Structure 1
Amino acid sequence: MFAANGYADTALSDIVAETAITTGAIYHHFGGKKELFQAVAENVEKDILSAVATAATSKKYPWDQLLAGVSAMLEHCTAPDVQRIVFIDAPTVIGPAAWREIEMKYAFGAMQQSLQTLISLGQVRPFAADPLASILLGALIEAAHSVARSEDQARSLKEAREMMRLLFESIKTT
């Protein structure tokens, strides 16, 4: 319901009617509408991470896995439900700083691990993996935001993929 109507236009009573869960149960498990929304938003982040992992495991080599994951994240973020929850409502409802922490919680580990693997293989310049992951993930999240806000998402997605590929190529050693 949050994806279809947005946070502001989704009443707790609508959720109760749609799901047959009592208001008391929602308050007991989540504390309220905002906390329920945060749980939904975190599930969307988990779905994005799952799509990234699926794309990455379809490739044999770590570098190709990284680029496949980047591409999958950008593509997954073109879905209207992801856009509504992740790019429109979550920063406002949860707060920009708290939402940034959630984004980093789900995406940072995967990015850091991929980069650490590539650094240890000598395929990426020997930067410290944590700040490198943070910087590249920040660029990737902003690219996803840009695609989500674009009037021409197909063109924007294609361009964002190419820009991210070039950015990642700049840290490659070979």
Structure 2
Amino acid sequence: MQQESARRSNRDRTEATRTDLIDAARKLFTEKSYAETGTPEIVAAAGVTRGALYHHFSDKQALFAAVVEQEAQAVADEIDRASPPALDARDALIAGSDSYLAAMRAPGRTRLLLLDGPAVLGRAAMDAIDNRNGNRSLREGLVAAMRARTLQKLPAEALTALLAAAFDRAALAIEAGGSSEDYRAVLMALIDGLSTARPQAPAPARTR
């Protein structure tokens, strides 16, 4: 029993150290950028040794990847909470879209996920992170809407990639001071433009 308790205690300490490193690194990466942050600053802010850092992460880039993964997961969780299965497919897609824009307003998140992330990790690695998180949620919403026949049937991967790029661009523009209402209106118009609904033809003019 004591042995099991000791193992659990060691696991808890190990997890706490990892969490402290990720939290400290996130704060520094968002305040100063990845390039301007050194590992000595990170270990000092986390209150751990340099050895502890390299026990958990092979280098600064690996720690940065863990920070980015955690941020991407947080965004995906917010999208999933906003678009439960009980919602109509189109309503879920709209709610998830709104949730993404709201989630990306967290301080430093656009820098981590949209600027430094691709620059530091590379496009392929960043795409893999996105596809496990926010893009996965978007793709599931699009596929559900296509199955419900409220959205035109289109190649899911290509549609996800292009819409995700539009949402990312909107998040960056809003972060830079652009009108969130304007960007949301355009994004909603894009989604509605993919709808299977067609405007009704005008009724023929009456003749006397």
Taking structure 2 as the reference length, the TM-score comes to 0.73
Aligned length: 170
Partner of 1:27: 54
Output the CA distance in 2 between the equivalents of 1:92 and 1:169: 33
SS in 1 for 2:83: helix
Equivalent position amino acid for 1:166 in 2:
A
Identity across aligned pairs (percent)?
27
Bigger mean CA offset, 29-38 vs 87-96: 87-96
Equivalent position amino acid for 2:74 in 1:
D
Output the CA distance in 2 between the equivalents of 1:44 and 1:15: 18
Bigger mean CA offset, 79-88 vs 65-74: 79-88
Deviating 4+ runs (over 3 angstroms): none
Query: Which residues in structure 2 correspond to 1:113-152 (within 5 Å)?
Result: 113-148=140-175, 150=176, 152=177
> Structure 2: which 5+ runs fail to align?
1-27, 198-208
- The alignment status of 1:101 with 2:128, answered yes or no, reads yes
Equivalent position amino acid for 2:172 in 1:
H
Output the CA distance in 2 between the equivalents of 1:120 and 1:81: 36
Distance 1:129 1:91, change over 3 A: closer
Output the CA distance in 2 between the equivalents of 1:96 and 1:108: 14
Calculate the aligned-residue CA RMSD, in Å. 2.0
The higher-RCO structure (CA 8 Å, 6+ apart) is 1
Bigger CA radius of gyration = 2
- Checking the alignment, whether the CA contact within 8 Å between 1:115 and 1:124 is kept in structure 2 is yes
Output the CA distance in 1 between the equivalents of 2:195 and 2:68: 33
Between Structure 1 and Structure 2, which shows a larger proportion of helix residues? 1
